[in-house]
Amino acid sequence: MNLTGNTILITGGTSGLGFGFAERFLHLGNRVIVCGRRVDRLDKLRNKYPEINIIQCDMMDAAQRESLAKQVMRDFPETNILVNNAGIQLHTDLTKPVELESLRAEIETNLIAPIHLGSIFAEHLSSRNPSAIINITSGLAFAPSAFVPVYCATKAAMHSLTLSLRYQLRNTPTKVFEIAPPAVDTELGYQHRPDPSKSHGGIPISQFLDEAILALESDLFEAPIGMAKGLHEKREALFDFMNR
């Protein structure tokens, strides 16, 4: 896919992978629209990149997702790429009664929101050529970490949904990509680190982005990145190794 001259909406684009994609797409010559929940993060992004369009939106709220889509299609009708990136990762002990509010937040953000938003944009994107939906999943979709079981389950579900969406859009101009990151040096899951300010050992964001952009440009529709390739290829065989 040509990654120049597009108009791209990125969810969860004020930090981590979303922020990295926003920067990279901007530098490649695209118009970028970023939505995020936190006003301070949006203001920081606006100050650094005034040319990026920002919209406040809580992806856990269905009404806000619908409002976001209406605003984007009204103000930026040329939008032709949706990047479903927003996500949260929580530790969950399934041997004890789960905290339902946290459970719902993780499932709503990681699974329901991208399904809902993708379905709202599908018809609009199908009228644009070229166009794409890019779902950011995880290597943990293929071989889960038992410490974050709900996160892994939502990403596995998004892998499955992406296959189905790609099939349903097969007769349209819309390409459907799945980018599955490995552990990347972002703040995802920072709540559970002894020192949230320190790296957890993931690969640099720049390395991830180099491989992800190459996959998109090469029309590699299912693209595990870095160590996620091993999780994708060996799957269940790695579960015991990862969780011993």
The kind and range of the H/E element at 197 are none
Q: Known catalytic residue: 49?
A: no
- Structure token digits, residue 4: 């120049």
Cβ proximity of 30 and 7 under 8 Å: yes
Residues 199 and 193: their CA atoms lie apart, in Å, by: 9
- Residue 140: CB atoms within 10 A of its CB come to 24
- Structure token digits, residue 224: 């595990």
Cβ proximity of 68 and 129 under 8 Å: no
The kind and range of the H/E element at 45 are helix 39-48
Q: Which one from 49, 151, 167, 190 is the annotated catalytic residue?
A: 151
> 């390739």: which residue's tokens?
229
The two beta strands, 53-56 and 31-36, are parallel
Q: What positions carry a catalytic annotation? A: 151
